Amino acid sequence: MQAEEAAALLDRLGEIETDRVIDQAILEHILTEILIETHHDTPRLPFTGDSGFHSWPVFAAARARIRSVADAEAYIARLNDTPRYFQQNVENMRRGIATGWTSHTDPLATTLDQVAEQVVETPEASDLYAPLSSLPDSFTSADRARLQREGREAVTATIESYRELLTFLETEYAPHAREKPGLASLRGGRGIYADLVSIHTAGAGLSPEEIHAIGQTEVARIREEMLAIIAEVGFDGSLQDFIAFLREDPRFYARTPSDLIEKASTISKRLDAILPQYFGRLPRLPYGVSPVPASIAPGYTTGRYVQGDQETGRSGTYLVNTYRLDQRPLYELPALTAHEAVPGHHLQIALAQELEGVPEFRRSFYATAFGEGWGLYSEKLAGEAGLYETPYERFGQLSYEMWRACRLVADTGLHWYGWSRAQAEACFIENTALSPLNIETEVTRYIGWPGQAVAYKVGELKILELRTEARQALGADFDIRAFHDHLLGEGSMPLSTLSARMHQWIEDQLAHGEAAAAHLP
């Protein structure tokens, strides 16, 4: 039904003449994505190894802010609907088994661990009960008792759903998990991968072969910059020797989870201070720094941003993974913080949430290449602003950039060229300072989430290309603050729409300069 409605709306959209170009482009992208996902029946694979349907209740609990009886009742209602939601996804996975479209063993193994973490003995021991454990003083004792009783019942039922899900995954699903990691091993998999790449790189117009070639070029360029830093610090050895030194020296690692969070918070405040140099408009919504919930941390990525909500009073959150501190090097922390907090995702997403005079879908729309491209661009921008204080931190930023370049090589290698996991890991092992755990976690993510990983570098390169064009065209009149404000001023959009919008801005700036010059005495 949704696909039929999307197809009908897409047909109507093509007949409309409107000056709301961005609205039209985004709506067209959303509808096309629905049709592609429906055509390929992507719900058959409802988890990635990084996250999935099973992790959404945990995220909902971490973000829940209960300030009224209505808030508590709404949260409990969502918990009570979790068994139905899980069963719906089980049926999707059974359809995947029947059609030979199942997860690879590695994302499944990570997902099994995540699900098992939620199977606890009592509701009070569950992350899901945390929002109800301490209710506001304004609640009457009767309401507090009732809501906590109903909450315990709802959490207990949800724990049982996790238990049943774990049994299903272990006994019914696992025997059908595929052994080869890439979609190239599945019937029609390469065609599906090409469609997924087109969704995630919205408007870039690049084929998997072109993306693979770009990745190889970027790997070679970044490697040369890494070697220059090794020479700068006077290290006697190869790139691999230097990476081994970084991985083994204890000075590059936090001793406690709170130490890591404190360092991330300090870097965040330093980044806050440089924002006015590069942006004329800043968001009203603040953000905080928190650890990734312990129950999902083992298989979770290094860091992530979770958006807040001005209306409900929930700030944005920069999540930092404190699991296995020996795998979380401090020389990478500044680049990670710039990407996930500011000037990266918090700045970008919070500004989009404040858009006025646009349809609601515009405030929440997230084009992967635009969003993640901005996050990666922010890492480079932070370096230009002087965030990286040591050669090791500059090397950490290059390692992170190399990580995204290797994604282009590895993701296309897995899903287009049929590479093994070892082949996909080789680029990261040979060229980045990423810890072994991070490499393992990330490649599992690429196996389980085809196409998403290539969007980062594709988007960043487009933003850098547009900035170079603007700087060359405007010369001394180029204003980095005005450039950034315009680029982020209408929220997330396909890259083709962004390119047209920024080219028009360049033309407008040139015309304005010519008009001003014409009025000089």
Among 179, 207, 222, residue at a domain's last position: 179
Q: Which of 158, 160, 161, 146 is nearest to 80 (CA)?
A: 158
> Is 146 found in the same domain as 247?
no
DSSP string, 52-82: BGGGHHHHHHHH----SHHHHHHHHHHHHHH
> Is 145 found in the same domain as 50?
yes
> Is 469 found in the same domain as 452?
no
> Is 484 found in the same domain as 449?
no
DSSP state of 300: S
CA dihedral sign of residues 344, 354, 20, 24: positive
In a domain, 346, yes or no: yes
Q: 54 is in which domain, residue-wise?
A: 41-179
Among 428, 457, 486, residue at a domain's last position: 457
Question: Which residue in the block uniquely carries the two structure tokens 């404040």?
Answer: 354
Among 457, 475, 495, residue at a domain's last position: 457
DSSP state of 172: I
> Is 478 found in the same domain as 445?
no
> Is 230 found in the same domain as 280?
yes
Low-confidence ranges of the chain (pLDDT < 70): 1, 514-521
pLDDT of residue 65: 87
pLDDT per residue as tens digits for the range 9-44: 999 988 888 889 999 999 999 999 999 999 999 999
Q: Residue 77: what residue type? A: A
> Is 217 found in the same domain as 88?
no
In a domain, 435, yes or no: yes
Helices within 168-256 (DSSP H only): 189-200, 208-232, 239-248
In a domain, 62, yes or no: yes
> Is 401 found in the same domain as 493?
no
Q: Residues with Cβ < 8 Å from 234, sequence gap 6 or more?
A: none
pLDDT of residue 518: 62
pLDDT of residue 50: 87
Beta-carbon count within 10 A of 475 CB: 9
> Is 402 found in the same domain as 370?
yes
User: Helices 391-415 and 333-340 meet at what angle, rounded to 10?
Assistant: 60
In a domain, 19, yes or no: no
In a domain, 393, yes or no: yes
Under 8 Å between Cβ of 405 and 486? no
> Is 449 found in the same domain as 464?
no
Q: What is the pTM of this model?
A: 0.91
> Is 512 found in the same domain as 422?
no
Angle at 93 between CA 88 and CA 95, to 5 degrees: 100
pLDDT of residue 417: 98
In a domain, 35, yes or no: no
pLDDT of residue 407: 97
Report the number of distinct structural domains present in the chain: 3
In a domain, 29, yes or no: no
Under 8 Å between Cβ of 227 and 479? no
> Is 286 found in the same domain as 331?
yes
Question: Which residue in the block uniquely carries the two structure tokens 């039929």?
Answer: 4
In a domain, 33, yes or no: no
